[in-house]
Amino acid sequence: MVLHIKDNINHGYEVELMTYRFELPELGSEATDGKLVARHVAHGDVVEEGDTILEVETSKSVSEISAPVDGRVSETHVETGDTVAVGDVVLTFERDVDAAGDEAAHSATVERDREGEDGPTPAVTRVTDTTSDDDSGTDANRVDPRETATGGDAADRPTPAVTRVSDDEPTADLSTGRLDGIPESTEVLVIGGGPGGYVAAIRAAQLGLEVTLVEKDALGGTCLNTGCIPSKALIHGAEIAHEATSAEALGITAEIETDLGQLVDWKDGVVDRLTGGVEGLAQANGVTLVDGTATFVDDHRAKVTTDDGKTAVDFEYAIIATGSRPLVLPGFEPQGDHVLYSSDVLDLDTAPDELLVIGAGYIGMELSMALTKLGTDITVVEMFDDVLPMYGDDISRLIRERATELGIEFRFGEAATEWTETDGGVVVTTEIEDGETTDIAADAVAVVTGRQPAADTVKPEAIGLEPTDDGFIETDAQGRTDRDHVLAVGDVAGEPMLAHKAMYEGEIAADAIAGEPAALDAAAVPAAVFTDPEIASVGLTSDEAEEAGYTPVVGRMPLGANGRALTMDTTDGFVRIVADAATERVLGAEIVAPNASELIGEVTVALEAGMDLEALAGTIHTHPTLSEAVMEAAADARGEAIHTQ
């Protein structure tokens, strides 16, 4: 081994400045080169021996390369994205050592590591400080310690860099052989068949890519099976029941009977029709559908487990579309007929007489209002002091007052802490801030306290992906994760957790993989809550516009002044439009009205098209319609409203 040391005189004391030129060590799986997917150090960084400094991706794995010595990075020879070969010089380190003894000690360390005693030891080449007069510190004199220490015996080479594969996925366990209908490899592997996943799969197939979509439960995901669609079907049924019995003022009275079982059967029919449609569309576009669970094993390989066994599928690109799952409230784990989550509520075949609902967010309020209209006595327990805390006071108040009118009882500022089973159902204990508790009896308790991303189901760690503290997988504007060839869409990729956002991201991700110039650049994502009345919003509120540096101007149209609303006997609500005072460009809107979820589309288009108030206010709207309230609100923002002051 050639070791050159230069003596430097530095500020009057003598130091030895040693330079280590660090070559890429062996990678796992016999690969001779790979792509540098992460460089965790930059020029000037100080590292400790063993710190992870580089990540190199081969077709089979990602190798984490650790620092060979304590020192300072004096040169970086590679950039993220470069292809690097084993033996290439990738970094240079400098290290000050005690002139007398440290070098000897360090040599001993290197020798020990070479013997493989202490786990992974990357190749280290030490050369002299390049400022040395001694010309022996040139590349020609570099010697790979793998050769010098062992006489070049491959068996004694340093342990390769750490290769990440999923801890509990030994390769031998990966497959029980090929399974019918599951390809050995695919260009695009989509994991999860909800709105994000199935849209991504269909779009990718339309763009000519070979696509395999793996879904572990039911095609259509949460939205079609246990979320948007079934809840809206239930809400529709409940609304018919309610309207039939609340039109005395119009001279209409009726005695009605509701059969929740039949309503749920009808809802299931709607779900089947839609999920069947998704399956047909996917197949018609040539997507290979697999019933199974996919987990990452390696950078370009997933394990797919089905009822028939498990098998490996190699992929070029993967799209993670695994969605979200309900947050389980500690102490309120799902339990038969007693502790229900939203999907259980949507499958009830008889309406409980009394239901205690924990959570007054959007799912809690939608389900509570529907069930109360179907005859259930609802008590809502909420830790905050109002419903729908994501909306402003006037909107929360309007919905709370309407819910109260429908018979819903609220317990704000209370936390549900435990439950016990009784003969007739449950008793739930709630607690207020000062510790005082109350017991509330009901037939069952429904927990709707939020949802969390389901990134863990794919074992993201196997490909070096680390979800955020909130469990989301971070992506760039094309949906790419930290690993360029793996994209994430929908609920798992971040807020807002909404189906239309998932679909939009699914299309962008597929376009990005196909090389189209696609990016997430929607002006705004609308949101709707299907309460009574509905709430819908898009873009900025007045406060948000101000925070963003605009001088906002606000226009408002109360439903009480809208002819169509009066003919529908629903006058609670309004349209509020926010625009930039300087340019009159529309910045956002909030609508509380029947069919607000439909009305918001007009303002969303206005935002996307960069329209101003004049364009909205000057567009002829059909009379009599609720949409005239949008036009009037825009006119009001300009001080030109006809039907309101």
Rounded Cα gap, residues 453 and 436, in angstroms: 34
User: Would you say 321 or 637 has its CB closer to ligand FAD?
Assistant: 321
Residue 415 near residue 447 (C-beta atoms within 8 A): no
Q: Which of residues 448-507 bind ligand FAD (CB under 6 A)?
A: 454, 457-458, 490-492, 497-500, 502
Nearest distance from C-beta of residue 190 to ligand FAD, angstroms: 9
- C-beta of residue 139 within 8 angstroms of C-beta of residue 103: no
Q: Which of 189, 190, 223, 408: binder of ligand FAD (CB under 6 A)?
A: 223
Smallest gap from Cβ 204 to ligand FAD, in A, equals 15
- Residue 635's SS3 state is helix
Quick note: the x/- pattern for ligand FAD over 272-311, rule CB under 6 A, is: ---------------------xxx----------------
Would you list the DSSP string of 564-614? HHHHTT----EEEEEEETTT-BEEEEEEEETTHHHHHHHHHHHHHTT-BHH
For residue 325, report the phi and psi dihedrals to the nearest 5 degrees.
Answer: -140, 160
Parallel, antiparallel or unpaired: strands 46-47 and 71-76 = antiparallel
Of 230 and 558, nearer to ligand FAD (C-beta) is: 230
Active site residues: 623
CB 33 within 8 A of CB 84: yes
Three-class DSSP category at 602: helix
- Which range binds ligand FAD by CB under 6 A, 7-15, 321-329, 397-405, 585-593? 321-329
Chain centroid to Cα 41, Å, comes to 28
In whole angstroms, what is the distance from residue 636 CA to residue 638 CA?
Answer: 5
* Sequence-separated (6 or more) residues with CB below 8 Å from residue 44: 72, 73
Q: Which of residues 357-376 bind ligand FAD (CB under 6 A)?
A: 363
Q: Pick the closer one to ligand FAD by CB: 467 or 624.
A: 467
- Region of 28-36, 99-107, 222-230, 605-613 interacting with ligand FAD (CB under 6 A): 222-230
Angle between helices 628-637 and 596-608 in degrees, nearest 10: 50
Q: Which of 214, 339, 378, 633 binds ligand FAD (CB under 6 A)?
A: 214
The 10 Å Cβ neighbour count of residue 518 is 18
Under a CB-based contact definition with an 8 Å cutoff, are residues 285 and 199 in contact?
no
Count of residues near ligand FAD by CB under 6 A? 38
What's the closest the beta carbon of residue 453 comes to ligand FAD, in angstroms? 9
Confirm or reject binding of residue 231 to ligand FAD (CB under 6 A): yes
HEC string of 381-427?
Answer: EECCCCCCCCCCHHHHHHHHHHHHHHCCEEEECCEEEEEEECCCCEE
Q: CB of residue 323 vs ligand FAD: minimum separation in angstroms?
A: 2
* DSSP 8-class letter at 590: E
Strand partners, 8: 15
Q: From CA 641, how far away is CA 506, in angstroms rounded?
A: 41
Stretch that binds ligand FAD, among 148-156, 318-326, 386-394, 625-633 (CB under 6 A): 318-326
Which of the stretches 104-112, 171-179, 217-225, 437-445 binds ligand FAD when contact is defined by CB under 6 A?
217-225
Instruction: Provide the token pair at 264.
Output: 């749920």
Q: Out of 67, 211, 238, 321, which residue is the one contacting ligand FAD (CB under 6 A)?
A: 321
Shortest Å, Cβ 205 to ligand FAD: 17
Here the tokens at position 487 are 């994209």
Shorter beta-carbon distance to ligand FAD: residue 507 or 584: 507
What mask, x for binding ligand FAD by CB under 6 A, covers residues 408 to 447? ----------------------------------------
Instruction: Report the nearest approach of ligand FAD to the CB of residue 586 (Å).
Output: 22
Of 98, 79, 75, nearest to 20 by C-alpha is: 75
Q: How far is the CB of 537 from ligand FAD (least distance, A)?
A: 13
For the segment 160-199, give every residue that binds ligand FAD (CB under 6 A). 191-197
**Contacts (CB under 6 A) with ligand FAD, residues 52-111:** none
Q: What span, in angstroms and rounded, lies between the C-alpha atoms of 182 and 190?
A: 13
Q: Using CB under 6 A as the criterion, which residues of the chain lie in contact with ligand FAD when the complex forms?
A: 191-197, 214-217, 221-223, 227-228, 231, 293-295, 321-324, 342, 363, 454, 457-458, 490-492, 497-500, 502, 530
